[in-house]
């Protein structure tokens, strides 16, 4: 298969698909809209997962698992929730098949008394269990997370970014007070921001979703929004304050310390394998992936260069001593002993986005040196073999910071403050984020969406609406918002 990629500037959609498949991250599943996550892509997801799992466990959260199948009646208990997910639900109606005239058909006698939904999200099944588990204030808070798969029957799919089935974490917490639930919602949002910026090297805007864009069934939805290379927005994580909506739907009450009865306060929050798409689209270049070292499956790849058996033995012995040091440093590494040419290997590992490439040939052995190539800026440097311990960690840290800073400069250069609608439409057409005034009207929000396909990504926490007028209506602005076209 040719590794040549489409032009990232003019064909980013094709570039993205080719990078995902050619770099060995994922492939298309046999059912339309599904994907197979290949080992390299799954290791990348596991690294992201392990980071966030560690974060939430430090804050007292625990993991559990809830059923994939949900009674259809559960979904109907929260009206806004069912409206939000009804068009995406996969429904199980029968329990078995049978052979008939050499065909496999559904056995009509196996029809379920109550149809079940393959979970699009787990609020309903989890709150049905919380009703059994919560009686008193002593049972609260409950801080549960699950790592799971969910199914949402999407019409238009793209590997990692929007698939019929995807992997995610979904946190579901129960609290005694409104204030506790709100604090939980914002604390998790802050963890998402840390994950994105400190590990994925993606700068994000944080803020509140409008009522039109919030999660179905939530009182408030908060989000982190990232800019991709095509200047579109990608919602990278959401944290929802559910108020008492699900507690009321499932009649989950608790006895307070003063012997009163009150409905529980709730939150839910989630990130998914969409984050892998975010890493690709935030950092990629014409040669493929550029993966931040902190989450890279392979942080350093070693390329032996030799022409004959004698040279191979010389290089192999040299690499063995380096390998011992890499293990001591805790570096994730791979040695490419394949039969391909060095040039092919260089291109292959650039495509895969490995942060550091080490090139080691007979001359390097003789001079006690090696060549290091950085994936973030294509720089090459020759270092002494004795410098590996001091230099490699520093270089990886520099690459991590450089990727973040490059992405931040790009985002800031393509975020515009706009005061009139003509300028707004022009920027949205060209691509970019727009900060502007909004009158708070859903009518205005809908009109702009219909005319430009741009949506309010968030009302940022640091908004400054004072003195602004609405970019569309000209009325006094209630909020300063961020608009963009989104994935």
Pairing of strands 62-63, 103-106: unpaired
pTM value is: 0.95
Burial class of residue 311, CB neighbours in 10 A (0-12, 13-18, 19+): middle
Question: Which helix (DSSP H) or strand (DSSP E) does residue 79 occupy?
Answer: helix 79-85
Q: Which two tokens stand for residue 159?
A: 């590997």
In tens digits, the chain (487 residues) has pLDDT values of 456 899 999 999 999 999 999 999 999 999 999 999 999 999 999 999 999 999 999 999 999 999 999 999 998 887 677 777 888 999 999 999 999 888 999 999 999 999 999 999 999 999 999 999 999 999 999 999 999 999 999 888 999 999 999 999 999 999 999 999 999 999 999 999 999 999 999 999 999 999 999 998 899 999 999 999 999 999 999 999 999 999 999 999 999 999 999 999 999 999 999 999 999 999 999 999 999 999 999 999 999 999 999 999 999 999 999 999 999 999 999 999 999 999 999 999 999 999 999 999 999 999 999 999 999 999 999 999 999 999 999 999 999 999 999 999 999 999 999 999 999 999 999 999 999 999 999 999 999 999 999 999 999 999 999 999 999 999 999 999 999 999 9
Q: Which two tokens stand for residue 39?
A: 């080992």
Q: Which two tokens stand for residue 131?
A: 């009703």
Burial class of residue 120, CB neighbours in 10 A (0-12, 13-18, 19+): buried
Q: Please report which residue ranges of 358-455 form alpha helices under DSSP H.
A: 362-367, 388-413, 421-430, 442-452
Report d(CA 236, CA 456) in Å as an integer. Answer: 15
Burial class of residue 327, CB neighbours in 10 A (0-12, 13-18, 19+): exposed
Report d(CA 137, CA 143) in Å as an integer. Answer: 14
Report d(CA 89, CA 349) in Å as an integer. Answer: 40
Buried-exposed string 68-87: b where 16+ CB fall within 10 A, e elsewhere? bebbbebbebbeebbebbee
Residue ranges and CATH numbers for the domains of the chain are 12-66+121-283 (3.30.930.10), 300-395 (3.40.50.800), 415-484 (3.30.110.30)
Question: Which helix (DSSP H) or strand (DSSP E) does residue 393 occupy?
Answer: helix 388-413
């Amino acid at each position: 298969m040719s590794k040549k990629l489409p032009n990232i500037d003019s064909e980013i959609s094709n570039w993205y698909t080719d990078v995902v498949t050619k770099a060995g991250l994922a492939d298309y599943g046999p059912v339309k809209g599904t994907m197979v996550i290949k080992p390299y892509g799954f290791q990348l997801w596991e690294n992201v997962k392990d980071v966030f799992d560690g974060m939430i466990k430090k804050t007292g959260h625990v993991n559990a698992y809830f059923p994939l199948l949900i009674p259809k009646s559960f979904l109907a208990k929260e009206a806004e929730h069912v409206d939000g997910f009804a068009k995406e639900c996969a429904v199980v109606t029968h329990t078995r098949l049978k052979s008939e005239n050499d065909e496999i058909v559904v056995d009509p006698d196996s029809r379920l008394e109550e149809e079940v939904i393959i979970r699009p999200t787990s609020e309903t099944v989890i709150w049905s269990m919380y009703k059994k588990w919560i009686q008193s204030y002593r049972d609260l808070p409950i801080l549960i997370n699950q790592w799971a798969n969910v199914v949402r029957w999407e019409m238009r799919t793209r590997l990692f970014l929007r698939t019929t089935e995807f992997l995610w974490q979904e946190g579901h917490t129960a609290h005694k007070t409104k204030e506790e639930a709100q604090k939980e919602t914002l604390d998790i949002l802050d963890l998402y921001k840390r994950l994105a910026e400190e590990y994925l090297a993606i700068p994000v805007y944080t803020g509140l979703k409008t009522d039109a864009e919030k999660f179905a069934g939530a009182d408030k939805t908060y989000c982190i929004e990232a800019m991709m290379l095509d200047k579109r927005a990608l919602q990278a994580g959401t944290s929802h304050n559910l108020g008492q909506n699900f507690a009321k739907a499932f009649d989950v009450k608790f006895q307070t310390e003063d012997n009163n009865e009150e409905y529980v306060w709730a939150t839910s929050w989630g990130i998914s394998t969409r984050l892998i798409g975010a890493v690709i689209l935030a950092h990629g270049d014409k040669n493929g992936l550029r993966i931040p070292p902190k989450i890279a499956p392979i942080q350093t790849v070693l390329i032996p260069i030799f022409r004959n058996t004698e040279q191979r033995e010389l290089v192999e012995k040299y690499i063995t001593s380096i390998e011992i040091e890499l293990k001591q440093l805790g570096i994730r590494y791979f040695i490419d002993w394949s039969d391909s040419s060095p040039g092919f290997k260089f291109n292959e590992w650039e495509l895969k986005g490995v942060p550091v490439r080490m090139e080691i040939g007979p001359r390097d052995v003789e001079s006690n040196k090696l060549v290091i190539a950085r994936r973030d800026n294509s720089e090459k440097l020759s270092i002494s073999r004795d410098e590996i311990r001091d230099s490699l960690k520093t270089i990886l840290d520099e690459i991590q910071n450089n990727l973040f800073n490059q992405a931040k400069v790009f985002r800031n250069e393509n975020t515009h403050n706009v005061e009139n609608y003509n300028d707004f439409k022009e920027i949205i057409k060209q691509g970019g984020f727009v900060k502007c005034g909004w009158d708070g009207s859903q009518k205005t929000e809908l009109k702009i969406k219909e005319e430009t396909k741009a949506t309010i990504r968030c009302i940022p926490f640091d908004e400054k609406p004072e003195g602004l007028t609405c970019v569309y209506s000209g009325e006094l602005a209630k909020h300063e918002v961020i608009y963009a076209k989104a994935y």
